[in-house]
Amino acid sequence: MERFRRSFSCAIQGIVYSITSGRNMKIHLLAAIIAISIAFVLGVNRIEWTLLMLAIFMVLSAETINTAIERTVDLITEENHPLAKLAKDLAAGGVLLTAINAVVIAVLVFGPYLIKLI
């Protein structure tokens, strides 16, 4: 049980570091708060909530992994190596893909509700 508690503590520390050190993570969290607020106001159903939560947590997870990759590359080399740049670009591209997916899901979920309001 102690190993589990330690592992959980390390994971929480990683999440906190990602939030406190990353400008992009703060932007993603703000977008998540806005999306959750809109979902509450519009009264989305359980399936729509599930889709929104999956999209939100995919983006937050991708950004956390991106941060880990960036820090690892920075640890390995301080020089501007093409492969170091490629690793960071690929990780950032993964975040961008998940963010685009989240926007598509938001449009699909919120669109019908917003059209009814117009």
What mean pLDDT comes out for the span 16-43? 96
When pLDDT is cut at 50, 70 and 90, the band that residue 21 belongs to is very high
When pLDDT is cut at 50, 70 and 90, the band that residue 117 belongs to is confident
pLDDT tens-digit map of 37-89: 999 999 999 999 999 999 999 999 999 999 999 999 999 988 899 999 999 99
Give the pLDDT score at 98: 98
CATH fold label, 2-117: Helix Hairpins (1.10.287)
**Residues labelled catalytic:** 63
CA angle 90, 88, 76 (to 5 degrees): 135
Per-residue pLDDT at 20 exceeds 90? yes
Nearest to 84 by CA among 97, 64, 69, 99: 69
What mean pLDDT comes out for the span 28-33? 97
Give the pLDDT score at 50: 98
Which H, E and C letters describe 6-62, residue by residue?
HHHHHHHHHHHHHHHHCHHHHHHHHHHHHHHHHHHHHCCCHHHHHHHHHHHHHHHHH
Percent of the chain with pLDDT over 70: 100
